[in-house]
Chain A
Amino acid sequence: MGMFESILLTIATAATPLLIAAIGELVVERSGVLNLGVEGMMVIGAVCGFVAAALTGSPWIGVVAGILAGAAFSLLFAFLTLSIATNQVATGLSLTLLGLGLSSMIGESFVGSAGVKMPSLYIPYLSDLPLVGRLIFGQDPFFYMSLALVAGVAWFLFRSRTGLTLRAIGDSHTSAHALGIPVIRYRYLAVLFGGACAGLAGAQLSLVYTPQWVENMTAGRGWIALALVVFASWRPLRVLAGAYLFGAVTIGQLHAQALGLGIPSQLLSALPYLATIVVLVLISRNRRLTIMNTPASLGRAFVPER
């Protein structure tokens, strides 16, 4: 395996969890809901995925457990913000707090126990192709799932009727409601999807990235996923680009160090956040673009008037 290919593989592994979590949150935000609890759902997915895989020996059961756990945990958020209209910002933050505590509790007896690693795909001949063999035909299933999710969500949002409805709800829940669209039900499903994705992303951390369980192993990746959604101005393909850019900066920063270049690592680490702000400004200063892209009712509670 060449160095170039191997660097790209490293970047892909770093970008995949960000991408999966961000694509889920993108759907949530497109429906007009801001769930700041991504970090919490992700860490729950990581611990449940790890525990299920360790107990059964099957990484695939770990994947399923991660997805289900993330979705179940997001249900708590959905109930509070959608059914009883609590503030989304405060509820999302509380969800992260609870998730970090709960995951440590669940995983306490699993720290240091041997993990199960999700094997990478291997197709004879194809995976051995020079330069791109491993990149295209030799990665772990999460990588392929992340790409499928991007394609699926892009199609869903912009090509399907249901996706159109979802975006309409995000833009104006009152008008959508007046048209007879079941706003709350859509949003429930969107939040559940977001939770499932965050759980899947967490499972990638504990089954592929570093197949082990350690407390707080998400280490802020949920927050980066949140930033990515904005960076991408709520466009799935841009989330893909953003996640890989983020991954490349993270890994590139380490390479710069190993080469002894002497650039402050903090500056490199801050670049993606500054870039996000710049992108936000660029898309928001053009009113037409903003209206097209930003879910206008993002973060506002909705209670059907009767």
Chain B
Amino acid sequence: MKKLLIGLAAALAVTVSVPAAFAQDKTKACFLYIGSKTDGGWTQAHDIGRQMVDTELGDKVETVFVENVPEGPDAERAIERLARSGCAIIFTTSFGFMDQTVAVAAKFPDVKFEHATGYKTAPNLAVYNSRFYEGRYIQGQIAAKMSKVGVAGYIASFPIPEVVMGINAFVLGAQTVNPDFKLKVVWANTWFDAGKEADAAKVLIDQGVDIITQHTDSTGPMQVAAERGIMAFGQASDMIAAGPKTQLTAIVDTWGPYYVKRIKAVMDGSWKSENIWDGLKDGILTMAPYTNMPDDVKAMAMETEAKIKSGELKPFTGPIMKQDGTEWLKAGESADDGVLSGLNFYVAGVDDKLPQ
């Protein structure tokens, strides 16, 4: 009945106080997406997290999202509209939303904001990220075991620290198995273009690599690898459906438990602004089942995963040389988070020039 009344009022263009029509006893959790919630990659992983919030917290929460929001002024408007629509907490899920999130957070001190993969915080603005590179280290080890030619191909998106970190971790992992392991890199200059990513995979295979890994989000490369009969790793979500005989494992972004935890914190008043960089041990990323590999490789991968979880193994621990031959980390020294989050150089073994 209430809905009908609103409808009638709207038809007459009478301004009614709409927010009053919505129940206020629920906690409203809101999400801003850069892509479509069914993109099969980055945004979909966040949306699966949102759906988990719905199932876990049920009636106590209402989730809302806005998808396909371009970075820039459109993002600031969308965030502000969310803030004004009664959201208690807003997750902005793209690095490019950083400055807009900061600006709106300053205007709405009572609303909690969480920005994914950024580095600017405020009393009501937390940042959260995932140590994707831990998974890439494991992938590197697997690649070195599985590759016959000792060269893997890496389809990269943009030369930002997060991606450079992933490339380095992959190579470091591979070198623990095969010190001469090489990596070829192609920059697709996109996060999501199935056709272009598939082209990049074909090019890498034509240049002789026999393992493909990607830091772009579509299943295009997985399909190409399956067709050409080589192995590949999935990205952002489990891509086993695209390559049942091809996928070795995948880095799966599992934001759900984190979102549930943070929204609960808002409900019970314990939410604090933090700079969260969780890893395998916290479950913010998980490894898809290790498939299509011999048992000894699988055992090695699981052992490495266990060691990273327990904190015994840190991928960026010396001795590590930079690509230009100078020393980066001494034996036993681990890179601190500050250096990692601004990483802009390759370690030795990467067969590429970092775009400058």
Query: Is B39's CB under 8 angstroms from A10's CB?
Result: no
Q: Which of A7, A214, A254, A255 contacts B40 (CB 8 A)?
A: A214
Q: Does A211 sit within 8 A of B, measured CB to CB?
A: yes
Q: Which of A205, A250, A259, A264 contacts B207 (CB 8 A)?
A: A259
Q: Does B79 sit within 8 A of A, measured CB to CB?
A: no
Q: Which of A3, A14, A205, A212 contacts B199 (CB 8 A)?
A: A14
Given A210-B194, A210-B220, CB of A111 within 8 Å of CB of B353:
no
| Nearest-neighbor residue (CB-CB) of A219 within chain B | B193
Query: Is A211's CB under 8 angstroms from B223's CB?
Result: yes
Query: Is A260's CB under 8 angstroms from B223's CB?
Result: no
Given A205-B195, A209-B198, A257-B186, CB of A214 within 8 Å of CB of B39:
yes
Chain B window 330-356, contacts with chain A (Cβ cutoff 8 Å), 1 for yes, 0 for no? 000000000000000000000111010
Query: Is A219's CB under 8 angstroms from B195's CB?
Result: yes
Q: Does B206 sit within 8 A of A, measured CB to CB?
A: yes
| Nearest-neighbor residue (CB-CB) of A5 within chain B | B206
Report, as a range, how many residues of chain B touch the other chain: 35 or more
Complex: how many Å from CA A257 to CA B187?
Answer: 7
Q: Does A200 sit within 8 A of B, measured CB to CB?
A: no
Query: Is A217's CB under 8 angstroms from B194's CB?
Result: yes
Q: Which of B194, B202, B207, B353 contacts A212 (CB 8 A)?
A: B194
| Nearest-neighbor residue (CB-CB) of B217 within chain A | A214
| Nearest-neighbor residue (CB-CB) of B189 within chain A | A265
Query: Is B200's CB under 8 angstroms from A215's CB?
Result: no
Contacts of B199 in A (CB 8 A): 10, 14, 250-251, 254
Chain B window 191-219, contacts with chain A (Cβ cutoff 8 Å), 1 for yes, 0 for no? 01111111110111111100000000011
Given A210-B223, A260-B351, CB of A215 within 8 Å of CB of B39:
yes
List which A1-57 residues lie within 8 A (CB) of chain B: 3, 6-7, 10, 14
Contacts of A211 in B (CB 8 A): 223
List which B131-160 residues lie within 8 A (CB) of chain A: 153
Contacts of A259 in B (CB 8 A): 207
Query: Is A255's CB under 8 angstroms from B207's CB?
Result: yes
Q: Does A84 sit within 8 A of B, measured CB to CB?
A: no
Q: Does B36 sit within 8 A of A, measured CB to CB?
A: yes
Query: Is B353's CB under 8 angstroms from A114's CB?
Result: no
Q: Which of A6, A111, A251, A264 contacts B38 (CB 8 A)?
A: A111
| Nearest-neighbor residue (CB-CB) of B354 within chain A | A262
Complex: how many Å from CA A153 to CA B196?
Answer: 29
| Nearest-neighbor residue (CB-CB) of B188 within chain A | A254
Q: Does B103 sit within 8 A of A, measured CB to CB?
A: no
List which B231-282 residues lie within 8 A (CB) of chain A: 241-242
Query: Is A258's CB under 8 angstroms from B204's CB?
Result: yes
Contacts of B39 in A (CB 8 A): 111, 214-215
Query: Is A217's CB under 8 angstroms from B195's CB?
Result: yes
Contacts of B219 in A (CB 8 A): 210, 212
- Within the complex, what minimum Cβ distance (angstroms) separates B312 from chain A? 35
Complex: how many Å from CA A148 to CA B219?
Answer: 31
| Nearest-neighbor residue (CB-CB) of A7 within chain B | B206
Query: Is A214's CB under 8 angstroms from B194's CB?
Result: yes
Q: Does B185 sit within 8 A of A, measured CB to CB?
A: yes
Query: Is A258's CB under 8 angstroms from B194's CB?
Result: no
Query: Is B38's CB under 8 angstroms from A108's CB?
Result: yes
Complex: how many Å from CA A124 to CA B203?
Answer: 27
Q: Does B115 sit within 8 A of A, measured CB to CB?
A: no
Q: Does A180 sit within 8 A of B, measured CB to CB?
A: no
Chain B window 39-64, contacts with chain A (Cβ cutoff 8 Å), 1 for yes, 0 for no? 11000100000000000000000000
Chain A window 201-225, contacts with chain B (Cβ cutoff 8 Å), 1 for yes, 0 for no? 0000100011110110101010000
| Nearest-neighbor residue (CB-CB) of A10 within chain B | B202
- Within the complex, what minimum Cβ distance (angstroms) separates A3 from chain B? 5
Complex: how many Å from CA A94 to CA B218?
Answer: 28
Complex: how many Å from CA A117 to CA B243?
Answer: 13
Complex: how many Å from CA A254 to CA B227?
Answer: 20
Query: Is B198's CB under 8 angstroms from A251's CB?
Result: no
| Nearest-neighbor residue (CB-CB) of A257 within chain B | B186
- Within the complex, what minimum Cβ distance (angstroms) separates B131 from chain A? 26
Complex: how many Å from CA A7 to CA B206?
Answer: 7
Chain A window 101-113, contacts with chain B (Cβ cutoff 8 Å), 1 for yes, 0 for no? 0001000100110
- Within the complex, what minimum Cβ distance (angstroms) separates A15 from chain B? 11
Q: Does B112 sit within 8 A of A, measured CB to CB?
A: no
Query: Is A258's CB under 8 angstroms from B153's CB?
Result: yes
- Within the complex, what minimum Cβ distance (angstroms) separates A57 from chain B? 16
Max chain B C-beta neighbours (<10 A), residue from A10, A209, A214, A215: A214
Contacts of B28 in A (CB 8 A): none
Contacts of B36 in A (CB 8 A): 104, 111, 215
| Nearest-neighbor residue (CB-CB) of B193 within chain A | A219
| Nearest-neighbor residue (CB-CB) of B194 within chain A | A210
Complex: how many Å from CA A255 to CA B187?
Answer: 11
Task: List 14 A-B pairs, Cβ < 8 Å.
Answer: A6-B205, A10-B202, A10-B203, A14-B199, A104-B36, A112-B40, A210-B197, A212-B218, A212-B219, A214-B194, A215-B38, A250-B199, A251-B203, A259-B207
Q: What 6 A-B pairs come out closest when comparing CB atoms?
A: A111-B38, A210-B194, A254-B203, A210-B220, A10-B202, A262-B353
The chain A residues found within 8 Å of chain B, CB to CB, are 3, 6-7, 10, 14, 104, 108, 111-112, 114, 117, 205, 209-212, 214-215, 217, 219, 221, 250-251, 254-255, 257-260, 262, 264-266
The chain B residues found within 8 Å of chain A, CB to CB, are 36, 38-40, 44, 153, 184-187, 189-190, 192-200, 202-208, 218-220, 223, 227, 241-242, 351-353, 355
Add 11 more A-B contacts to A212-B219, A212-B223 (CB < 8 A). A3-B208, A10-B199, A104-B36, A111-B40, A117-B227, A210-B197, A210-B198, A214-B218, A254-B186, A258-B185, A266-B189
